[in-house]
Structure 1
């Protein structure tokens, strides 16, 4: 985790130096926010994201159209509640690399709105399945014994998720004084994240053979 945050900080520093060499049209930003994610419709869960982005105008000296890309640490996954049988919470951490094409429109001198869309690439880093299993055993009496077991599994293990994801996403938002912005985004994963294409049987902890990432984001950013 510390190495990843160090990588993000290094990324931001390098692009700040690059911005100084290119000039004012180039900007970079730090961003953090909330995720509401789902995996194959199994059940939504909340997470977070934090990282850095950079922005380059598509046409020289025109800030209306631009490319926005970055590296973002993101906690996604899902939460399954099986009631009397237990629950499963999936906690995969990804390094997201979004590449968006954007358009910005000025409302006043200090306020503007923007919209972005484009592909994203994700690399699975680490994470755990947190599993609570409830079972009943007979004790010879009229009432069964209720046994609750808690254990974890590697989220990217042999019976888990793939380490690579690819999809499409968009963001819409507002920018104040060319420094602060708030945005709402959504990412559609296009890859089935289950590791096996042929052995989708009852040994999997999942209930469905098609697992695609879905992620709603709410972000706050500061631009430099």
Structure 2
């Protein structure tokens, strides 16, 4: 939590400095939407499916010029992945399902470019890094599945993070999106590419992948 707090303070101070230099006050808002997330986890020959999640949070928009803006905020967002299927691995039959649930506090720091297409309506392109801290999540394992280097049978919930979990908490990545502003209403489609290998183990890699559709209101 300390890392995300420090990053948040640094980002907001930097953004507010830009806002002051542009003689513009930041505009705050609220935003909520749905996530469709997955991971880079290689689970061949099993099937990997996307997980539906959600996000909700506050936003901040700082005008550097009429067209160039800096966007930040803080959101609670849920991500994850789902693995299921039946196959033969190493002479053993595996059949089951793993559902990974991840909850984050996430802070983006995006540069945005706005194009006015008609009075009161703008198209917005944004991109930049995001920082996230895992704050919770339970992952469900059922059936006979390859767990690390072994074929294991299980049925129950395990912690996603922590000493008993299998993923690291801190994530960092890049996001890019396109949206539209209709007065105070903002709609955005965004994709996030996680750059951190979150796996606590050396024999598999797990990086977040997420697409989001959000609707917001700016005060």
TM-score clears 0.5: yes
2:217 corresponds in structure 1 to: 222
1:150 corresponds in structure 2 to: 155
Query: What RMSD in Å do the two structures reach over aligned CA positions?
Result: 2.7
Matched, 1:68 2:78: no
Q: How many residues align?
A: 183
Kept in 1: contact 2:105–2:134 (CA 8 A): yes
Render the CA deviation track for 1:168-187: whole Å, top value 9, x for unaligned. Answer: 1012101101x001110001
1:116 corresponds in structure 2 to: 126
Kept in 1: contact 2:85–2:96 (CA 8 A): yes
In the alignment, the residues of structure 2 paired with residue 75 and residue 161 of structure 1 have an alpha-carbon distance, to the nearest angstrom, of 14
Structure 1 stretches of at least 4 aligned residues deviating more than 4 Å after TM superposition: 22-25
Q: Could you tell me which runs of 5 or more consecutive residues in structure 1 were left unpaired when the two chains were aligned.
A: 1-17, 136-147, 201-208
Matched, 1:213 2:208: yes
* Paired residue secondary structure (1:160): coil
2:29 corresponds in structure 1 to: 29
2:57 corresponds in structure 1 to: 51
Kept in 2: contact 1:25–1:63 (CA 8 A): no
Q: TM-score, normalised by structure 1?
A: 0.74
2:196 corresponds in structure 1 to: 191
Q: Could you tell me which runs of 5 or more consecutive residues in structure 2 were left unpaired when the two chains were aligned.
A: 1-15, 42-47, 87-93, 146-152
Q: TM-score, normalised by structure 2?
A: 0.76
Considering fraction of residues, name the structure with more strand.
Answer: 2
